[in-house]
Amino acid sequence: MSSAEAPEIRGGLAFGPLWRIARRDLGRNRRRSLLSMLAVALGLALLIAFNGLINGVMDDMRDNTIRYDTGHLQLRRPDYDADSLSLRGSELVDDLDARLARLRAMDGVRVASPVLWIRGLMTGAEESVDLRLIGIDPESELHAPFRDALAAGDFLSADDRDGVLIGRRLAEKMGLAPGDKAPLAVVDAEGKLDEGLFTVRGVFDTGLIVYDESVALMSLSKAQAFGQARGRASAIVLLLDRADDAARLAATLDEPGLRALSWLDLNELLGYYLGTVKRFYWLLDAIVMLVVAVVIANTLLMAVFERIREVGILAALGMRGRQILQLFMLEALALGLLGCAVGIGLGLAGVAWLQTVGIDFGEEAMSGAGNLAMGSVMHGRIDLLQVLLLTLWTLAVIGLASLYPAWFAARMEPVDALRQT
């Protein structure tokens, strides 16, 4: 510090001179400054990439469940037993034509289609498989995801009387291909065992084990006849123009003998799982930010101890404690800003890769997902607002972590500091 700068210090340092001192001090130990900046960058990049992956997985699970299973809304009988896939007449929805006409005329309803769920058994030469047999309207947009996932053969037609569509993993397990005969057995509405021999029309591959391994589709009319449902359906499934309208429309559709359930009501397990995952990655976020805070605090403390004599000289020349505190805070902010800039770039690049390529965990690894609609390949999703919030939180943590070292330097007595060698 030259004597020419002394009057300026006595009068109080403006940002420019303060920044020059901070920049010089950061450059004095470039290796330590670089490692600290990289710690911030890698910490923020990890937060962005991990949160992006979790966002993508949660979105995929929600969207897959809505597209392949629940829809946005379902109308059922209040006493319908979804666990047993009951076929009792009192638990099924009747008067389908009139109800469908009314629902399809409502604003905000894009698709309304009846489905019939039946618990079935497919038998083979070596093993038997429990499955969920779904009677569908093959022409409805509701089942377009299965149509788009067709990997072999043909899709069903509305008047198909002996055809079924099965998933790829089920086809491989049973050794079936399009054109083969598949024996199916169900317990019908009267409690009697009914068996039939059906032709495999096609094989779908959704990439979701819960559907590819244990679901078979047939035309609604044939399913109603096979299960003795007499023109009834388990539920009427609705797709809406806006998913956010599900709860509002559900409240208007309730009527005596009929209950409207939103996709949130129908996916309590999914909601619980998503809540657990959110708590887990909040904890991980906190751990990463704590590590970054420790690195920054350690860097600044080492800088303070190395520069005790210099701090004493600055104080003796007239720099106030507040300005010394600002100096060290400025150094921390510089490290934080540079680290965050690099971290944002690395994090967004990582999420972009996850979004386009994803991580393939393999089907065997995901076979334990149970009824969750999770594919073997997990993708990420970029959320710029979340990136901004993570960056601000990281900077805030860095600011807090730098307070103690900066306060420690600011409260030094010049005489004591100058005695240090």
In a domain, 186, yes or no: yes
Cα 152 vs. chain centroid, distance in angstroms? Answer: 30
Q: Which of these three, 193, 222, 257, is where a domain ends?
A: 257
Q: Give the span between the Cα atoms of 153 and 182, in whole angstroms.
A: 15
Helical residues (DSSP H) of 307-320, grouped into ranges: 308-316
One domain for residues 330 and 410: yes
SS3 176: coil
Q: Give the span between the Cα atoms of 79 and 82, in whole angstroms.
A: 9
Beta-strand relationship, 193-204 and 163-167: parallel
In a domain, 210, yes or no: yes
One domain for residues 236 and 375: no
Cα 312 vs. chain centroid, distance in angstroms? Answer: 53
SS3 158: coil
Strand blocks (E) in 359-419? 359-360, 377-378
Name the β-bridge partners of 128.
Answer: 123
pLDDT tens for 133-162 read 999 999 999 999 999 999 999 999 988 889
In a domain, 402, yes or no: yes
44 and 344 Cβ atoms separated by less than 8 Å: yes
Instruction: Report long-range pairs for 386-392 (Cβ below 8 Å, ≥24 apart).
Output: 386/48, 386/51, 386/52, 386/55, 387/48, 387/344, 387/347, 387/348, 390/44, 390/47, 390/48, 390/51, 390/285, 391/44, 391/340, 391/343, 391/344
One domain for residues 14 and 84: no
pLDDT of residue 139: 93
Q: Give the span between the Cα atoms of 314 and 327, in whole angstroms.
A: 11
pLDDT of residue 2: 41
One domain for residues 415 and 391: yes
> What is the residue type of 218?
M
One domain for residues 181 and 82: yes
Provide the sign of the torsion angle of the four alpha carbons 71, 76, 79, 82, taken in this order. negative
One domain for residues 281 and 408: yes
Q: Which two tokens stand for residue 152?
A: 């072999």
One domain for residues 185 and 115: yes
Domain that holds residue 57: 3-64+271-419
- Quote the pTM value: 0.75
> Residue 65's closest CA among 364, 370, 356, 382?
370
In a domain, 184, yes or no: yes
* Total domains, the chain: 2
One domain for residues 322 and 354: yes
384 and 55 Cβ atoms separated by less than 8 Å: no
pLDDT < 50 regions, the chain: 1-12, 417
One domain for residues 206 and 339: no
119 and 216 Cβ atoms separated by less than 8 Å: no
SS3 215: strand
In a domain, 365, yes or no: yes
pLDDT of residue 308: 63
One domain for residues 377 and 313: yes
pLDDT tens for 203-247 read 999 988 889 999 999 999 999 999 999 889 999 999 999 988 988
